[in-house]
Amino acid sequence: MPKFCVFAFHLDRVLGLNRTLPAVSRKFRFLYDGQSCPVVSWDASLYPAGLAAGLTSLKLTWGEYQNSLKQRCWQQNISPKSDSGCSAIHHYEWSKLALFDFLLQINNRLDQGCCGFRPRQQDVCIELGYHAKCQDANHIQLENIIYRSHNPRHLVFTNNKGFFDRNEDNLDFRLLAGIKEFPEQAVSVLKTRKLREKLLQSLFLDETYWESQGGRQGIDKLIDVIERRAKVLLTYINAHGIKVISMNV
């Protein structure tokens, strides 16, 4: 698990998205036999009704999500019509989420049924029967769509379990469905080939995580995966005429 959430935090910051909770890798003698484990910053605003009530999450089906993308909800701070099907989430947030989830191949939010790639038998979507629902994908629920109660326009990316072992010929492009623009700041990092340099500088600050992944050699292997996916994403942006715009909201 530390490979996922700690790396995700650093990638989020390097891309300028700033939607994940701070996460570091630490060792505790009384946990996991002293092996490194992730420590994620506690944010009480995600639990306005108390811990027992759970996170503030948005309930949305795939069909409703795709409709909301067409409505471009809250763009230019224009209040949507009552029958638009819009949630409180700003339109640009979905673009940031899609980019982030594609690079890390996180499917537990936008593609819980693994409808956009070939899942393995041990994947959760197979074990729990979600994949069988792909024939009626419009009714599949999105999961882990989290926001702060005092700031419902912005998403918070939690439970960032990605997959570094998914090959380029089996990437989940369903994560990008309906997205017509991406954040300029993040895409510029991918285009200028500064991604590796920035990630190395950021990850090096977490000595425990750095060592747990085998030092520079292990970290480079993780970044190799993200760089290959970034290249695929840039090709997708060009091929589909996706706009790259400022998303400072």
DSSP line for 23-44: EEEEE-TTSGGG-EEEEE---G
pLDDT of residue 61: 95
Residues 6 or more apart whose Cβ sits within 8 Å of residue 167: none
Between helices 91-104 and 2-14, what is the axis angle to 10°? 130
d(CA 153, CA 132): 33
Structure tokens at 122: 């041990």
pLDDT of residue 52: 47
Whole-Å CA distances, 101 to 19, 94, 197, 207: 12, 10, 21, 25
- pTM here is 0.93
pLDDT of residue 196: 96
pLDDT of residue 4: 83
pLDDT of residue 51: 52
pLDDT of residue 139: 92
Indicate the domain borders of the chain: 3-245
pLDDT of residue 221: 96
Ramachandran angles phi, psi of 90, nearest 5°: -70, 145
List, in sequence order, every residue forming a beta bridge with 20; answer none if it has no partner: 157
If one counts every other C-beta atom within 10 angstroms of the C-beta of residue 227, the result is 17
pLDDT by residue for the chain (249 residues), tens only, comes to: 556 899 999 999 999 999 999 999 988 876 666 678 888 888 888 876 555 446 788 999 999 999 999 999 998 888 888 888 899 999 999 999 999 999 999 999 999 999 999 999 999 999 999 999 999 989 999 999 999 988 999 999 999 999 999 999 999 999 999 999 999 999 999 998 889 999 999 999 999 999 999 999 999 999 999 999 999 999 999 999 999 999 987
